[in-house]
Structure 1
Amino acid sequence: MSPRCLGEGLFIYQSLDAIDGKQARRTNSSSPLGELFDHGCDSFSTVVVGLGTCLAVHLGTDPDLMFFCCFIGIFMFYCAHWQTYVSGSLRFGKIDVTEVQICIMLIFFLSAIGGATFWEYQDHPCLYILAFGCVASKITNKLVVAHMTKSKMKLQDTAFIGPGLLFLNQYFNSFINEYFVLWAAMVFSLCDLLVYCTAVCIQIASHLHIEVFRIPYQASEQVQNHHD
């Protein structure tokens, strides 16, 4: 996949991300489930976009710097939602997510124009970032749910099993190849994230008596009457 395709994909994603809230309010279909979908997709895209940006500028040759740059994006995203959990409102600065997304698009397009070889990277740091990114994504989603339900967050979570496997493998100098453990940790963390998000969405949809990915007929009729 070329940097140009990534830039175009990010532009489409950012545009849809900015439109969905207005569309939900226009059709009178906004709900806590929609908020969870919005921030849940953002939590995982933060990992993917950060990783793609590093690869576009050939940062994969420096795993430590690459991990640091991706970690900063994940950390800032979590802090923004922690502030929302504490204060009760999501605040934006003059230079915030939209401006950062525009800069990342420019990086992708400049890499495409300059002829940078996009896939010259080492796979080990990418797997580490994806594994820990899935963990951060699940914890952030739990923070969003805790904010919406006004509940407390538990310290124990199955999301930490993947990183725990990596830690034990390194600490005890296990005979198992680190590469295989890394893949296992990433796949487990991703599956754990998907299972959690699916379960939460089903519970919220059942509690609010709403259907996922479907606009109610009455809401559509109200919009049509409003235009008439």
Structure 2
Amino acid sequence: MFDYKYLSKEHLNGFNNYKYRAIDTSPLSNYVMHPVWNATVKIIPRWLAPNLITFLGFICVVVVALLTSWYDYHWLAAGGPGQQNLRGYIPNYVFTLSAVLIFLAYNLDGIDGKQARRLGVSGPLGEMFDHGLDSYIVFLIPFCLFSVFGRDEFSIPLFRGYLIVGSIVLNFYVSHCEKYNTRVLYLPWGYDIAMWASSLLFLVAGIKGPAYYKMFIFHDVTFAQVLEVAIHATGLFTTLPVSIYNVYLSYKNGTGKKLSLLEAVRPVWSMTSLVVVMTYWALNSDVMENYPRAFLLLFGTLFSNIASRLIVSEMSEQKCEVFNSLLWPLIAAALMSIYQPALQHLLLHSVLLVAILAHLHYGICVVRQMCDHFKVKCFIVPKEKRK
């Protein structure tokens, strides 16, 4: 079942020659977090595999997603249409626990690579595993944070919430499109700031309650609206122009792949197709009003699959896909849902189930194939490295 070979011989040969190169200029990361992580990793048991640390961080975020979904499936508990009496229905301890788990996930993500280098087990598998899970985490955090704000007059409409999720995941995707061209992962400053901010948003909600954020910053502009503008501005005015400039420098200095324009933009098409289809579906039906969490979970799952395939391509120096095959059932479901609204629930949840199962299958098979190729075990440190 999980022996399917997604990776070609060319992919595996590319992984054989892969060397990790990353540049992190974030002051918060370099002067605060890295010293903390360098000290922390010294007390981590040597038998604890780096990939297991990565996976534990991922599980922390999944737990937050499950908790917020259980208590607030429709994002109404903190306020929304007809729900004024239910504000604060989510126990405050859920918000506090979410803050702790997200901050723990952030720190585990910072420690895993240091543990790998400490044990001498760094390799392509660890990076691919780490970044593949990150592609899902980057979606799950805003997916969970919507429960802090609800759907009342102090929040934002659901469609604009979808655009926020799109903006956040595109920042992640742009960085990997950049690496696809430059061979270097330039770690954006926004990542560390976003993880701290997400943890603090949950923590304050846990201490003060989600009603604390129901305020006007100036005139009739709410706190949620200011946060919305800040998120979009971060991607539009920092991540995107810096990435374009870094690609330009790699061409100018001859340090990148120096691809033709058509080859350089290959990663764009699958992501553009996903955004166009999902946006068209949202604008031409009431799918987001009826099933907001399922709709966004579908978007995030498909995004993670597209991003994971790009990560495999960039690391193995192979051409990435122009079109992701999982988009075909999405297109069919969207069109049928628009013209047959009665089937909307069945179509949305069917294609969501297909996407989740297909993405799980892809991830598990790729990890198993890489483990077989490099003769390693994903979650076990070799005995000789534990001493």
What TM-score does the superposition give when structure 1 sets the normalisation length?
Answer: 0.88
State the one-letter code of the partner of 2:198: I
Aligned to 2:127: 35
Task: Please show how residues 44-123 of structure 1 align to structure 2 within 5 Å.
Answer: 44-59=136-151, 62-93=157-188, 95-116=189-210
C-alpha contact 1:162 1:186 (8 A) present in aligned 2? no
Q: 1:146 aligns with which of 299, 313, 320?
A: 313
Task: Please show how residues 152-171 of structure 1 align to structure 2 within 5 Å.
Answer: 152-171=319-338
Task: Determine the C-alpha separation between the residues in 1 that align with 2:147 and 2:176.
Answer: 27
- 1:86-143 CA-to-partner distances (Å, cap 9, x unmatched) read 11011124x32111100111111122223228xxx96612211110111110111111
1:65 deviation in Å? Answer: 1.4
C-alpha contact 2:128 2:311 (8 A) present in aligned 1? yes
- 1:65-96 CA-to-partner distances (Å, cap 9, x unmatched) read 11011111111111111111111011124x32
Which is worse superposed, 175-184 or 43-52?
175-184
Query: Which has the higher Rg, Structure 1 or Structure 2?
Result: 2
C-alpha contact 1:131 1:162 (8 A) present in aligned 2? no
State the one-letter code of the partner of 2:159: D
Task: Determine the C-alpha separation between the residues in 1 that align with 2:162 and 2:146.
Answer: 9
1:166 deviation in Å? Answer: 2.7
Task: Please show how residues 179-194 of structure 1 align to structure 2 within 5 Å.
Answer: 179-194=345-360
Where does the alignment leave 5 or more consecutive residues of structure 1 unmatched? Answer: 222-228
The answer as to 2:97 corresponding to 1:25 is no
Aligned to 1:14: 106
Task: Determine the C-alpha separation between the residues in 1 that align with 2:148 and 2:320.
Answer: 36
- 1:163-204 CA-to-partner distances (Å, cap 9, x unmatched) read 223322135x12652122111121111111100011111111
Q: For the structure 1 residues 69 and 18, does the alpha-carbon distance in structure 2 shift closer, same or farther, using more than 3 Å as the test? A: same
State the one-letter code of the partner of 2:209: G
What TM-score does the superposition give when structure 2 sets the normalisation length?
Answer: 0.53
Aligned to 1:201: 367
Task: Determine the C-alpha separation between the residues in 1 that align with 2:173 and 2:319.
Answer: 16
Q: Aligned pair count?
A: 216
State the one-letter code of the partner of 2:207: I
Task: Determine the C-alpha separation between the residues in 2 that align with 1:142 and 1:17.
Answer: 20
- SS of equivalent to 1:91: strand
Task: Determine the C-alpha separation between the residues in 2 that align with 1:36 and 1:56.
Answer: 32
Aligned to 2:377: 211
Structure 1 consecutive aligned stretches of length 4 or more whose deviation exceeds 6 Å:
none
C-alpha contact 1:61 1:122 (8 A) present in aligned 2? no
- 1:10-57 CA-to-partner distances (Å, cap 9, x unmatched) read 011111100000000000111111111100111111111011122222
Task: Determine the C-alpha separation between the residues in 2 that align with 1:113 and 1:186.
Answer: 35
Task: Determine the C-alpha separation between the residues in 2 that align with 1:100 and 1:106.
Answer: 10
- SS of equivalent to 1:96: helix
Where does the alignment leave 5 or more consecutive residues of structure 2 unmatched? Answer: 1-66, 68-93, 212-287
More helix by share: 1
1:158 deviation in Å? Answer: 2.9
C-alpha contact 1:24 1:30 (8 A) present in aligned 2? yes
